[in-house]
Amino acid sequence: MTFSIIGSGNIAWFFGKKIAAGGHQCKAVYGRNEATVKELSDALLSPKFGGIDDIQDEISDVCFLAVSDAAVAEVAAKLHFKKTILVHMAGALPLDTIKNASPDYAVLWPVYSILRNNATAHRDMPLAWNVSGDRAKRFVLEMAHAVSDNLFEAKDEQRKWLHLSAVMTNNFINHLLSINEKICAENHLPASSLQPLITQTFERVKHASPATIQTGPAIRKDEATIEQHLKLLEAQPALYKVYEAMTNSIKAMHKMK
């Protein structure tokens, strides 16, 4: 099968290299940044590259719209495919965002934080998919299997909730770790002292439900420790609210059990 890519960022590089390595031929790379588009085109041995206005129908079986979420609708509005299957890769956007650009269309969203050079060797990266029909399903899943063995269907509403969960799991947790790093620095403590605890936490949730292994003063109803922590944060109202909200959330979740 053949494919083309619109975009030259992290997603385009990651999927382009994986799909090409799976035996599918890249026929074209398109995008706004001529230098990075040509670089990706050369890396994928693509015979054609160009700008958004150069995109052609039928140059490939599938065209991956690997652009930012904000640009998906804008770029799709410029496309008028009759044969090429169009695939957007945005977890938070509905399948029908691109329905006017092609009769056959799909979503293929990696539940993973993609960087250009982290083309992981493992084949268990979760890929959520949704399609307009059988033709799109056949082509898109064939190419998706070049990337991962962990494929699952997720309709629009399901994908919204999964995207929200992914943001909380990845972005929010990373932000909490950043806060803790700052707290350590301000108090002349090595942030590395928390690393074994971080590692232990993520190892444990691989094998058990996070709710069943919750620890800490909130679940123990240790009000003295909670008050002590809140007192430390009185001069930092934003962090005070974060700590208080997380504590109350833990209490509420475990009160329901």
The larger pLDDT score, comparing residue 231 to residue 48, is at: 231
Q: Say if residue 164 is in the same domain as residue 122.
A: no
Domain carrying residue 230: 158-255
Q: What does the pLDDT average to over 223-228?
A: 98
Residues linked to residue 152 through DSSP beta bridges, in sequence order = 128
Q: Directed axis angle between helix 34-43 and helix 10-21, to 10°?
A: 20
Choosing from 114, 139, 154, the residue where a domain stops is 154
Q: Could you give phi then psi for residue 129, rounded to 5 degrees?
A: -130, 155
pLDDT in tens, 52-79: 999 999 999 999 999 999 999 999 999 9
Q: What pLDDT does 116 receive?
A: 74
pLDDT in tens, 27-47: 999 999 999 999 999 999 999
3-class DSSP state of 82: coil
User: Where do the H-state alpha helices sit in 44-95?
Assistant: 69-76
Q: What does the pLDDT average to over 190-207?
A: 96
Q: What pLDDT does 255 receive?
A: 86
Q: Say if residue 139 is in the same domain as residue 174.
A: no
Give the dihedral sign, CA 117/123/127/132. positive
Structural domains of the chain, count: 2
Average pLDDT over the chain, rounded to an integer = 95
Q: What does the pLDDT average to over 220-242?
A: 97
DSSP for residue 24: P
Q: What pLDDT does 120 receive?
A: 67
Question: Where residue 26 sits, what CATH number does that domain have?
Answer: 3.40.50.720
DSSP for residue 211: G
pLDDT in tens, 75-125: 999 999 999 999 999 999 999 999 999 999 999 999 998 887 666 667 889
d(CA 154, CA 159): 6
Query: Please, what is the Cα angle at 170 between 248 and 86, to 5 degrees?
Result: 130
HSE toward the beta carbon, residue 167, CA cutoff 13 A: 8
- Residue 80 makes CB contacts below 8 A (sequence gap 6+) with 57, 101
Q: Say if residue 11 is in the same domain as residue 113.
A: yes
Percentage of the residues of the chain whose pLDDT score is greater than 70: 97
Q: What does the pLDDT average to over 148-164?
A: 98
Q: Identify each DSSP E strand in 111-212 by its residue range.
A: 127-131, 151-153
Q: Could you give phi then psi for residue 71, rounded to 5 degrees?
A: -95, -10
Q: Say if residue 16 is in the same domain as residue 43.
A: yes
Among 73, 65, 61, 78, smallest CA distance to 15 is for 65
Whether the per-residue pLDDT at 243 is higher than 80: the answer is: yes
Choosing from 154, 169, 203, the residue where a domain stops is 154
Residue type, 184: C
Residue type, 179: I
HSE toward the beta carbon, residue 93, CA cutoff 13 A: 24
Question: Where residue 162 sits, what CATH number does that domain have?
Answer: 1.10.1040.20
- How far is C-alpha 73 from the geometric centre of its chain's CA atoms? 18
